[in-house]
Structure 1
């Protein structure tokens, strides 16, 4: 049996640990936990009980990010050397029916949206090595303008603007901005730059495209790439399905807790680097998730 943990961030670790203690595999909403200690305890408990622990997001299993992984693996842009990752808006208080928790510990742009971006980058480039960052809490409170809480003051407990650089073990240097303080911008969600060309990666909070490439010999503008895999539509819970297939076949599951823990450490490193004024050398590592094979039958997630 697999327990799917869809509680609020502050309850993720408690509920996941209870499921594991009851002898059940567990797949949690992101992030894995509020703290690195919580994340480690989940991984250790799962290992001790010979159970599976997994965590969202699973959007990297969609057609868009799987196609990008194939292009990188096939050398379409050469060796990845740099890139950008931008998630910038002005927060959810204008549209979300319950926006307060987004500004509490466990929320903020980094822990709400950062998991999509960090997980996508690990999927595409492998594990990271270090983080150098500056973070800020621009407003002490926000004003809700959603219908349900119009005019309410929302105390801000977390950083709402995160700017930094992640160095990956493969040498790629990625410039990152994750913010709830920006009214408008025109950056792509993720772009990767290699020795032979460039790649536009789709929004990692979605499963489809567009995917675009540029190589100097083609000239002109970016070129659209046809998606090579299934699951371009909204396929949330595909990570749970992958875990179920993995349990039956004995292979590793792709949305593994160690992947989520590595993403969690990267996210925590932004505030830590900002507070100390130093580059944070990451202590964790994880396996780069295995990509889907080409030609896989839709609905069958084993190789």
Structure 2
């Protein structure tokens, strides 16, 4: 905490008391979250808020609350997770305008829920997909890489920008050795493609998604099924790309046809390939930089948009991995 001499006090008055109550949250829960995270004191009475703390945190809280209030005035509903996103985003860059992020609607689901970016990395990801034919989204689980890619693809399909969506990922830890699994082919690969189905069914009604799958407008298939094909007029998503081999990645990238877009997602810290095999995603990251029409967007643990504990879990594992690498370096010296 800062010393007492650096403590300041600010007062905010929000003109619309109903919006102020939404901003404050039930029993001032949103204000309490901001106060606890920034280690400051926030008191509310009516439509007035008093903030007291060190100058940096107090001004940050002022910025957070004013920007969230501005979102409410635009009829954007503030949920508890939005408070976390706002704190993380503005803590990293206090010049960010939350309106530019939260009001950028990617897709409206069948449940009338707007899918929007939740941080600057997601915003950059969406912009990259709009402006490029191929985008790589690289970062840890929980950052929304696959979910947003699905929303962008479904939006393109509904707008008539593409005629089909193809969703693929390497199956069985990139080895795609499906023969030993019980059941027919669909039963063998379904468990590995299930996350893609889950995201799809969150975008549209089950009946509509099922009909599009039966018609072949949406195709979900293991990566091995892409060999020998040319994918025209399609939006293609390759998920879990860190588990592609160099050969598989090259095969996939050269399937892209006319009027097609591709998003490739993966987490290069979670590679399941056998020792000695080069990850196609890692190699692509090294050799495709700077090519016009291809953009790389990187996510970090601060961009996690799942339950707040996921962020802490990722941090804990990172600490463990760093200690392990440090021990290995010491042993080799």
Fold agreement, TM-score > 0.5: no
Higher helix share: 2
Higher strand share: 1
- Asked which structure has the greater CA Rg, the reply is 2
Higher relative contact order (CA 8 A, sep 6+): 1
- The TM-score with structure 2 as length reference comes to 0.24
